[in-house]
Structure 1
Amino acid sequence: MRTRTTTAAALAVLALALTACGGQEEPPAGDDGGSRSAGTGAEEQDKARGAAGLPVEPSTTARYRFLEALDAIDRRISEPGTDEQAVSRGLDQCGSLKASPDDRDRLIRQTLERFALPAGLPDLNTPETGGKILDAVHEHLCPGF
């Protein structure tokens, strides 16, 4: 079992535990209890990401599925300990995907460069691998682009 699987399970348990520790207090009238309050750092970050043409921070599930998709391509693309970097690169690629969705060849070249495959993993520096990573980005991190 990979560290990522164990980490994802631990995060899910932690999220449930934190939710359970929240107390029995009712949310204020008009608050659905699950929405972010105005002016929070997360909300401001999501607005900034949207203004930059990037999707909002992905859910834990979307992150996990994206990282698993990278592992299915080749485990070396996102080795344990580099998950955040891989997600960040994927989110950046979403911006490129949104800017020029019809230029797949260019997007594949950008994907290969963004994931540092020419220098770090030259044997994976192929249009086929770039296309698979690009498809994983699109499917899991920015399906609306």
Structure 2
Amino acid sequence: MNHRTTIAVSAALVAAAGLTACGGGAKSENRPAAAATGAGTASGDAAPSKAIEDAEQRLGIPPKPNAATQARYIAALDAISRDIVNGKPERAVSRGRSTCGSIHSFPKDHAKQVDLTRQRFSGATQFDAAQSEKILQAVHTHLCPKN
């Protein structure tokens, strides 16, 4: 998959996820409620559609980790710097899953993987290349070891 196609599919995923998350609208009554199906998460969100899951898989984005895997991943990030997770484990998981997509998209460009990781995880706290390398390794080890 070339870079433009990857970007286009990623944009479509974001748009689809946004539409799914918004709810409401004239056709929303046609969708089954998450509570009725039991497929929702603790926050009440519906499970991602099969199309989104398939697209994420093609892009190298793994499914959300189970609780034990997430705990090990968060512990690994906290060992690097407590500022990475900063009390927001779901955000750290989301960023990690996206980083798996970067690993998949640029398998032979480790420097790009590190730079994209730095950009993705930096916010109020800026991470240097050495920290970003460690974050990338934690993501790879815990969230997407097959990439």
Fold shared per TM-score above 0.5: yes
For structure 2, the 5+ residue unaligned runs are 1-38, 40-45
Max Rg structure: 1
Matched, 1:91 2:97: yes
Structure 2 counterparts to residues 1-145 of structure 1, below 5 A = 41=47, 44=50, 45-80=52-87, 82-116=88-122, 119-122=123-126, 125-145=127-147
Which AA in structure 2 matches 1:134? L
1:101 is displaced (CA, Å) by: 1.7
Which AA in structure 2 matches 1:92? S
Give the whole-Å Cα distance in 2 for the aligned partners of 1:68 and 1:41.
26
Give the whole-Å Cα distance in 2 for the aligned partners of 1:57 and 1:46.
10
When the two structures are superposed, what TM-score results if normalisation uses the length of structure 2? 0.63
Give the whole-Å Cα distance in 1 for the aligned partners of 2:110 and 2:137.
10
CA RMSD in angstroms, aligned pairs only: 2.0
1:46–1:57: 8 Å Cα contact kept in structure 2? no
1:121 is displaced (CA, Å) by: 1.4
Give the whole-Å Cα distance in 1 for the aligned partners of 2:49 and 2:142.
21
Question: What number of residue pairs does the alignment pair up?
Answer: 102
1:42 is displaced (CA, Å) by: 5.3
Equivalent residue, structure 2, for 1:33 = none
1:43 is displaced (CA, Å) by: 6.8
Which AA in structure 1 matches 2:105? A
1:53 is displaced (CA, Å) by: 2.7
Aligned in 2, Cα 1:75/1:57: closer, same or farther, shift over 3 Å? same
When the two structures are superposed, what TM-score results if normalisation uses the length of structure 1? 0.64
Which AA in structure 2 matches 1:120? A
1:92 is displaced (CA, Å) by: 0.3
Equivalent residue, structure 2, for 1:26 = none
Equivalent residue, structure 1, for 2:4 = none
